[in-house]
Each structure stands twice: as structure tokens, then as C-alpha cells.
Structure 1
Amino acid sequence: MRSGLGRTLVLLSGGALATAGWGAVFPFLYADIATARGLGAGVAAGTFTAFAVGSIVAAPAAGWLADRANPTLVAVLSRLALAAFTGLLVLVSSPAMIWAVAAGFGASLALAQPAIQVILLARTPIERRRDVFAWQFIAINLAAAAGAAIGGVLVDLSSQQAMRPVYAVAVLSALISALAVGLAGRGAHSGVLAGQGAAETVSYRSILAKRPVLWLLGVSLLITLACYAQYDAGLPAYILDATTVKPSLLGAAVAMNAILVAVLTGPVVAYTKRRSLTSLLAICALLWVGCWLIFGLPLIIGGFDGAFVMIGFAALSFGETMMAPILSPLAAALAPEGATGRTMAAVSGASTVATAIGPILSSALLGLHLPAVFIVMQVVFCLAAAASSLKLRRIMAVSRSRSEHPARMELELAG
């Protein structure tokens, strides 16, 4: 038990290390492409779309490999690929090469995620899944906070060469993450693959034929559009272009957000443990309505842009503490026997589709100098996500009575 717990902690921290690296880069990637390299908003938005497309293309293979191959090997090789593509991203300068490398970067992230999650699920009792994913979320956000803080100090948008120290941090973090995941995941594949004979007969088509899973994909897409699709692209671009906030303050705000998420996740998960997961997703989306309205206040009230941005990122953290520890256990609960990795990859893929759509929409609106419409769009996505979450709750309530595994469903519908 002690050894297993130690490996789980190393796996959580090691998996999060890569987040520290790209957390130092991503808040400034849009500005790096558009400003430091002088390629404009269209190329910058296209970079995030290419990243998302790479993730979408890799998602089916990621789920299949997590279910059928050695997930530890998959995660390690993916982290090594992530380091390589991060290093290339700072070196290339043409739009086509930037987009190609960004696609590889996205594919590397997509391949690692289900593999790490399957290892965690294999070592965690059903009743503790919320807890372990909450701890994973805490580790990721602490790493993101450290990355954003480092990025805010090192970032220099004067030229492409001046950005190299930030990317060097990301490369080193990915390499250390690969080593940590490899050490912590040794031997885990035998436990993951045990009892997976049913995986031979489960296809993505049969997974998506399940109505609750299909609705979960819709909720995942909408709730990502409501926040995370703009977190690394549209929101920083809006703040840097439509307000007087400087990159250093933006980095501090992102770091503060991540720290608050890490601090609040444990208490929030404990407090909401007997609440319906789908209801919590709806509450999360409604909280984000208020966040986007706060981010929009600089357009109405001048002179307090920095304060509104800091308050907005702080408020954003309350919704985040509910969302991330919910989607993965919910996907695992709805997964057909032997297809956990593929179901989680499908949910992750739906979120990635949103991250491909989001930058296109924000780039169009901000490029047309319509920041108010950008804010309204996010509010609409939040409201749609809340309504869809409540619809999923009703569908799952019906499915629970027909489910062949009612105990699994009850754990996710408590409250």
C-alpha cells in the first residue's frame, strides 16, 4: 500500500510537471506568434486550431493504446515527443511549419492523457475516484501556477529569439515528466490489462451509441467552449488587446488562478461529495457566467482593468474546482466494460474540438474589434453548458434504472 501510494503520488506530480512547462508558454503563445514573430492574429489563432486538430486526430489512437497497450510506455513516449515538438516550436518561423509542429504538440498531449488516467483508475477504488482526480487536478494547477509565474518573468515579446528561455523551461519539464511517469508507472500495465477481454468487441461506434455518453460529449464540448477553449487563446488576447493589462500582470493572474484552484479543489470536492456530478457541472457553468461579466467590465468602467482581470481569474477558479475532478470519473462510470480509455479519450476529444473552434471564433471577433461580442458569446456558451448538464442528469437517471451496473451509476449520481 505504501509503495502503491508513493507511486501514485510520483505519477500525479510527474504527470503535472509537463503542465508546468507548457503552462509557462501557452498564456503567451498567441502574443508570441502574432507579435514577437510578427505573423498576425490569423496565424496565431491558426496555431491553436492546429494544436486542437492534432489532438483530435490522435484521440482515437490514444484511447485504443490506453486500453490495449502498455499505458506507461505510451505516456513516456508521448512526453518525449512533447519535449521534441516544444523545442521545434520555438525554432520554426513560417506559418506552415508552426502549424505542423503545433499539431504534433497537440497529438503528444492527447496520447499521454488517457494512458495516465487509465493507470490512476486501475489503482483507485471506484469510491475514491473523485479524490484521486481531485488530487491530479491540484497537482496540475500547482504546476500551471509555477509555469505561469516563470513564464511571466522570462517572457520577452521583443523577438522570436528572446522567447527561447521560456520554451527551454517547457522542454526540460517534459523530459523530467517522462522520467517520473516511467518510474512511477512500472508494472502498472499488467493491472490495467487484466480483465480487458471485452475490449476486443467494443468499438468507438458502440461507445458513442450510448445516449448518456453522447450527451456527455456534448456537455464536454459546450463547457470547454464556455471557458478552456478561450483560456489560452481568446482570453489572453482579449486582455492584452482590449484592456491596459501588461503581460506580467496576466502571468500573475494565471498563476493566482492556478494556486486558488489547487487550494480550493480539496475542500470543494469534500463538500460536494454527495452532490450529483451533472448538477455540479451546471453550477460550474453558471459561475462562469459571472466570471465573463467581470472580464467584460473594463469595457464599461475604465481605470480598474488590472483589478477586474485579477478578480475574474480568481472567480474562474471556483468553477474549475468542480469541473476537472468530475468529467473523468463521470466518463469512467459511463464507459462500457473494457473501454475506459476509449471513452475518456472520446470525452477528451470533444473538449479538444471545442479548443479548435474557440480560437477561430475569438480571433474573428477580436480581429473585427468586437470585444463585447466576444464576452457575450462566452456567456451564451456558459448558459448552454448549464442547460445541457441538467439534461444529462435526467438521461442518466433514466439509464441508471436500466443499467446492468447500477452500483457504478449510483456512485456518480449520489445526491
Structure 2
Amino acid sequence: MRDFWGALPTEGRWLLSTVAINTFGRGLTLPFTVIYLHEVRGFDLGFAGLLMSLIAAVGLVVTGPAGALTDRFGARNVLLVGLASMIAGCVLLAFAEHPAVATLAIVLIGVNFGTSWPAQNALIAAVVDGELRQQYFGVNFALVNLGIGVGGIVGGLFVNVDEPMTFTLIFLGDALTCLVPIALLLGPLRHVRTHATAHGHDDDSRGQHGGYRALLREPAVRWITLLSFVAVFVGYGQFEAGFPAYARGVAEVSTQVVGFAFAINTAVIVLLQFTVLARIAGHRRTRVLLVMAAVWAGSWLVLGTSGLLPGSLAAAIGVLAFTGVFAFGETLMQPTIPAIVNDLADDRNRGRANAVNAGAFQGGAIAGPIVAGLLLDHGLEGAYIGLMAIGCLAVGVLALALERRLPAAANGVPAVRNAAVSERPPVE
């Protein structure tokens, strides 16, 4: 960690030092938003669930334009707009007593989700490069989990459905934490440039009309996009929906076990991420994804065994083991895919490249719960676990296919990447 911190430029240290603070605010509210909408504001549970899905839907719609705007006006400006939208959404939601007000608040929060991914990743890529970039994405992921995890614990201890003001305060707290990155963007990071220089106007103009089409004509971009979609479909798309449904309905474990399983997931990520980063340094990123696919396949098989002894101690152990093994796979995935995406891009299309990858993630996160719900609702637990295992196998196949089309520098081959960096023109 000392070596990593010492290698970071000043802007990178500023950017990384506030990640946990900002995500602490999301942790305060994320686990309790549905409870707040239903039990505190009295909205129908179906309507509350619809509002939660609206965040992802709005984010998916906004991601494409946000990527183009990032390339045109810079990540800093797009992030400022997204953060302002987040603050407005949280403040509105804190006092939302009418469904229309709650809907508007959720839309504003969704706008931030759609803009933050491509702009934030473009900003990171502008600050760090090469092997340091891969390490940065991994450390950033660990800090995000740490902030959300601590925020969730604090929120759980603080909120009370019999005292609506406690929920109002956590949403206002979420809004306040957004002021920290705003201060950074207006202060120490105000000079960071993420978009093409003035002499690239012709490329930018062409990019506004055909940028996404041109990007998707690149074979490596298409393969990493497909791999991301399938990985999220069998990963995050199940972790917040299919996994808890299987744990409760098939393995028949208590809600306390499910809650503890999520805590184990966060702890494993925070504790293992630095070790994993040291182990994967210098290795082909596609091979790291291949290992991740095998680890996730193993985690789903472990969860499947928990359903063979429902309601037992063995079932509880299987559920807890699943989240721990799954978390190990996450520590392999999160430093790798963003590094590939940003090494394939340049300043003219970095925002759009991250937007395409964000769209793949969001698409997998939307499709995953739908498929899980259909299979588990019809009692097809075995088919569900089998599909997840096959999906992990598909991720491994896609990683090998991507390796044949991925430039060596983007695949983390040290010698080639260093040569590519040394050949870059100096920054003016």
C-alpha cells in the first residue's frame, strides 16, 4: 500500500482519499430506501419496488449521452452535473410525502448513477496509467465497499421506522457527502483534463455522430462488452436478487444469515483486494478473468449444495461460504475489466468507451433478476444453479476469445505496455 500510495500523482491521492466518505452516504440510504418508501411514507410495496428499478432504468438511458458529453466537455463538468442531481434527489426524497415527488427524486438520483460511471472512470484513467491504473481500480473498489458497508451498519443502527425523521436525516447525510467530491472537482482536480485537445475538433465532431458506431466496430470492444454483460448477469445481477431469493426460499436460511452473508462479502473484498492486486500484477488480464470465472462457478455450486439440506446448519454455512468465494472473484474482476476498457480507449472516446461498458453492466444487472425470478418462481432451483454455472463457463470462453483480439498492452503484458507508454508523445 505504501508503494502504491507513493507512486500515485497528487491528483490520484486526492481522488482516492475521499472515495470511502462519498460512498458512506450511499451506504446510509441504499439498504433502507425501499423500507423508507413503503413503511415510512406509506407507498404501496409494488410502487416502491418500481421506483427502485427506475434508478437503474434512468441510469441506463442517461449513460450513453453522458459518455458522449464526457468526451466533449470533460469528466469534471459531467460529474459536477451528476453530483448536483444527486444532491437534489436526496433532499427531495428526504421530504417526499407524495408519489410524484418521490418519482422525481428517484429520477434525479438515476441521472447521477448514469453519469457517474463513464465520467468517474474517465477521470481515473486521466490521472493514472499502466499497471498503476489497474491497481487503482482495485483499491477504489475496496474503498467503495468499505464506505457502503460502514454506512449500512451506521444507518441500520440509526434509523427507526417509528421515527420518520431518522430517515430524513440519512438522506440529507447522503446529500452532504456529495459536497466532498464537488469540493475536490472545484479545487485540487480542477485542472485535470479528460477530453481531447483543441486540435482534435474534427475527431470530436465526427464522434458526435458516429462515435459509438465506430467504437463498437472494434472487435476487442465488442468482446469485452459481451463479457461484461454475461459476467454481471451471473454475478451482480444475481447477488442482490437471485442469491437472497434462493437463500431464503430454497436453502431456507434466516434473514440474519442473509444479512451476515452480505457482511462477509464486504469484509472479504476489503481484506483481500490488496493481496489480489499484488498477485495479479504483470499477468494477462484475460487469464485473471478466466480464474474469476472458475471461482464464481465454484461459488454457485457451493450455493447449490446449500439447497440440498434446507433449513440446516450446513445450508447456512453454504450460504455464507458462497458470498465469501464470490467476493474473491469480485476482487479479480473489478481491477481488470475497467483497466482493459480504458487501455483500449484514448482521450477522444474514453467517456463513450466507459459508457458502453457501463451499459453492459446495467443490462446484466437488469436481466439477471428477471431470469432469476422466473426460474425460482417456477421451482426450477436446479436449472437456476446450472444456468449460473454455465454462464460462468461462458465468461471463461469469452475471456479466451477476447485474448485473441486484445492488444497486448491492454491485456496487461508489462513489456509491451511499457513500450507503448514510452512511445507516447509528451503531454503539453
Q: What band does the TM-score fall into relative to the shorter chain?
A: 0.7 to 0.9
Shift, 1:16, TM fit: 4.2
| 1:32-43 pair list within 5 angstroms | 39-40=44-45, 43=47
2:253 to 244, 247, 250: 244
1:76 to 71, 75, 80: 80
Q: 1:120 to 1:282 in 2, by over 3 A?
A: same
| 1:146-161 pair list within 5 angstroms | 146-154=150-158
Q: 1:362 to 1:264 in 2, by over 3 A?
A: same
Counterpart of 1:244 in 2: which secondary structure?
A: coil
| 1:156-235 pair list within 5 angstroms | 163-164=167-168, 166-189=170-193, 192-194=195-197, 197=200, 198-202=203-207, 203-235=211-243
- Residue 284 (structure 2) aligns with: 276
* Contact preservation (8 Å) 1:148, 1:254: no
Q: 1:2 to 1:294 in 2, by over 3 A?
A: closer
Q: Deviations over 1:331-373 (max 9, x none)?
A: 1122256211111111111111111222323343445565555
State the identity as a percent: 25
- Residue 424 (structure 2) aligns with: none
Q: 1:235 to 1:124 in 2, by over 3 A?
A: same
Shift, 1:206, TM fit: 0.3
- Residue 318 (structure 2) aligns with: 308
1:294 to 290, 295, 302: 302
| Letter of the 2:206 counterpart | T
1:355 maps onto 2:355 in alignment: no
Counterparts of 1:44 and 1:374 in 2: how far apart (Å)?
Answer: 27
Counterparts of 1:68 and 1:224 in 2: how far apart (Å)?
Answer: 29
Counterparts of 1:237 and 1:87 in 2: how far apart (Å)?
Answer: 32
Counterpart of 1:188 in 2: which secondary structure?
A: coil
Aligned residues, how many? 404
Backbone CA RMSD of aligned residues: 3.6
* Contact preservation (8 Å) 2:296, 2:326: yes
* Contact preservation (8 Å) 1:25, 1:167: yes
Structure 2: 5+ residue stretches without partners? 422-428
1:385 to 390, 395, 404: 395
Q: 1:85 to 1:239 in 2, by over 3 A?
A: farther
Q: 1:205 to 1:163 in 2, by over 3 A?
A: same
Q: Deviations over 1:50-108 (max 9, x none)?
A: 22221111112221222221422321331231233234446557777756644432321
Q: 1:5 to 1:410 in 2, by over 3 A?
A: closer
Q: Which moved more, 1:130-139 or 1:154-163?
A: 154-163
1:138 to 142, 158, 177: 142
| Letter of the 2:374 counterpart | A
Counterparts of 1:165 and 1:237 in 2: how far apart (Å)?
Answer: 30
Counterparts of 1:21 and 1:362 in 2: how far apart (Å)?
Answer: 29
* Contact preservation (8 Å) 1:226, 1:285: no
Q: Deviations over 1:18-50 (max 9, x none)?
A: 32222344345566667775734x556544532
Structure 1: 5+ residue stretches without partners? 401-405
Counterparts of 2:420 and 2:271 in 1: how far apart (Å)?
Answer: 25
Shift, 1:205, TM fit: 0.7
| Letter of the 2:312 counterpart | G
- Residue 426 (structure 2) aligns with: none
Q: Which moved more, 1:346-355 or 1:268-277?
A: 268-277
2:110 to 106, 131, 134: 106
Shift, 1:300, TM fit: 1.8
Shift, 1:298, TM fit: 3.6
* Contact preservation (8 Å) 1:27, 1:236: no
If the length of structure 1 is used for normalisation, what is the TM-score?
Answer: 0.83
- Residue 403 (structure 1) aligns with: none
Shift, 1:269, TM fit: 1.7
Shift, 1:276, TM fit: 1.5
Counterparts of 1:244 and 1:167 in 2: how far apart (Å)?
Answer: 31
Counterparts of 2:150 and 2:242 in 1: how far apart (Å)?
Answer: 22
Counterparts of 1:47 and 1:410 in 2: how far apart (Å)?
Answer: 49
- Residue 133 (structure 2) aligns with: 129
Counterpart of 2:334 in 1: which secondary structure?
A: helix
| Letter of the 2:390 counterpart | V
* Contact preservation (8 Å) 1:119, 1:185: no
1:318 maps onto 2:323 in alignment: no
Counterparts of 1:13 and 1:77 in 2: how far apart (Å)?
Answer: 21
If the length of structure 2 is used for normalisation, what is the TM-score?
Answer: 0.80
| Letter of the 2:239 counterpart | Y
Counterparts of 2:367 and 2:162 in 1: how far apart (Å)?
Answer: 29
Counterparts of 1:95 and 1:379 in 2: how far apart (Å)?
Answer: 40
Counterpart of 2:128 in 1: which secondary structure?
A: coil
| Letter of the 2:334 counterpart | A
| Letter of the 2:356 counterpart | A
Q: 1:311 to 1:3 in 2, by over 3 A?
A: closer
- Residue 339 (structure 1) aligns with: 349
| Letter of the 2:124 counterpart | L
